[in-house]
Amino acid sequence: MIDWNRFNWPKIIGVMHDIESLTNIPQCRMMSAHILEEATARCSDGQLKYVGDTEIGCDFIGCDGLRYESKSTQGLIKKKGPTTKKITLKNYYGKCLGEPEQTFDYMIAFDSTKNTVILADWDHCIENGDTEDAKYVTELDVNRCEVIAKDVNYVAIGFDAQQKYNDFVSSCIGKIVDEKEFVMMDDPSAIIKRVPLEGTLETFMMVA
């Protein structure tokens, strides 16, 4: 059995807040999830091992031999109603193939607004699961979840993760001789209109 009280939750939730700005950059979302998962494993008092880099649909192996998946969402636990916000269990990136094969035994779900962490087993996740476009999503019944950390008083380092990422990108590219800033031509030959595929008539009239 994993003893959730042995986790350093103030540090884990602190990391989650330190890297929050990365979740606003689409290409960094995977990276921010990875950082949180690494932090969770390293703050687990040796009870979780991060395996997300080699396994699909499973982020940790526990010392109990069970598989754990991590998800984090702002406002996960809704103010009203017994269920959480929708959590994507599987994104098929194309045609949704329905209920996914079991890849974990428990889901560790972080609410970055309430600084609370809940635990749900696979059956619970699947019971409330449904297809949504190319995704298979679920809503957890909060009353059935085990609350493993609640209203955590977190300890953040307080760095600018977005700046760190930008610095990292720049350091990978190195110095460019005679690098020029982008300047739009006075009379661009092509004006690209972003016509939404679907929308209201008023929206279409604005862009058509």
Partner 1 sequence: MKLIDDYLKQDDVNALNSLHIEYAKVHWIGAKSNPEKNALTKLVHSTKSYVKDPVLGATAWYNVRPVDPVWHNDILSYCDKYPINNLPEHTFIYYMRSPDSGGHLEFGGAGIKEDWRMDVTVEPIPNRLVYFDAFMTHRVAPYEGNRVSIGIVWWKITPDRYEEQKIDEYNVLERVWK
Q: Which residues are near partner 1 by CB under 8 A?
A: 195, 197-201, 204-205, 208
Judge contact between 58 and 50, C-beta under 8 A.
no
- Of 97 and 207, which has the nearer Cβ to partner 1? 207
Nearest approach, Cβ of 189 to partner 1 (angstroms)?
17
- Of 179 and 198, which has the nearer Cβ to partner 1? 198
- Residue 124, Cβ density class (10 Å: 0-12 exposed, 13-18 middle, ≥19 buried): middle
Nearest approach, Cβ of 205 to partner 1 (angstroms)?
6
- Of 183 and 201, which has the nearer Cβ to partner 1? 201
Nearest approach, Cβ of 166 to partner 1 (angstroms)?
37
- Of 172 and 191, which has the nearer Cβ to partner 1? 191
- Of 97 and 206, which has the nearer Cβ to partner 1? 206
Residue 185 token pair? 């031509």
Judge contact between 12 and 39, C-beta under 8 A.
yes
Nearest approach, Cβ of 191 to partner 1 (angstroms)?
13
Judge contact between 103 and 57, C-beta under 8 A.
yes
As a dihedral over the C-alpha atoms of residue 46, residue 48, residue 50, residue 52, rounded to 10 degrees, the angle is: 180
Alpha-carbon gap, residue 41 to 35, rounded angstroms: 10
Nearest approach, Cβ of 188 to partner 1 (angstroms)?
18
